[in-house]
Amino acid sequence: MNNPYLLEHLRCIPDFPIKGINFRDVTTLFKEPKTLEIIEEELCQLYKDKGITKIVGLETRGYIMGGILARRLGAGFVMARKPGKLPYQTLKEEYSKEYGTDSIEIHVDAITEDDVVLIHDDLLATGGTAIAAWNLVKKFSPKKCYMNFIIEIRDEGLKGREAIGDGIEVTTLLRT
């Protein structure tokens, strides 16, 4: 898709959070009404006919468009959070990131076997978080699962899409 207006408004911060990482700052896309509208419309067009019943937003930037998209599609919204942040019983999945390890959790009653799930986050880099989210969602045995990111980083040799593999449809709005 690579909408030129969105690419124009995407900020890159070199050596953040550590030297050698070129951080794509999605906050510049969220602060302008026009960029938010473009992202919302492009996401809605991608998923309006997929029968999505739940959107899993990954902490924390995945909550922004994930929540908006859930409202637009008439779906429920599920938060995938860092450990200890959800008040009820959870399922947990650990993963590796570019600069460390982490884990995410979802409430045990968040998804059913009847759900069609869209996992949404702002950024696909190495794929560690995405794979963890997918592994977590698979524990619920939903009917179908899709995955979406606003930005996919390809220009630094990162191969997140390849790490995720072929078992799930992955879409991105921007590739850098």
| Annotation marks residue 162 as catalytic | no
CA dihedral 83, 86, 68, 21 (to 10 degrees): -10
Tell me if residue 98 is catalytic: yes
Angle at 10 between CA 9 and CA 13, to 5 degrees: 135
171 pairs with which residues across the strands? 148
Phi first, then psi: what are they for 43, rounded to 5°? -65, -45
Q: How far apart are the first and last CA of the chain?
A: 11
Helices (H), the chain: 4-8, 27-30, 33-47, 62-73, 128-138, 160-164
Considering the candidates 61, 81, 105, 152, report the single residue annotated as catalytic: 61
Peptide bond into 60 cis (omega under 30): yes
* Catalytic one of 40, 59, 98, 175: 98
Could you list the active site residues?
61, 98
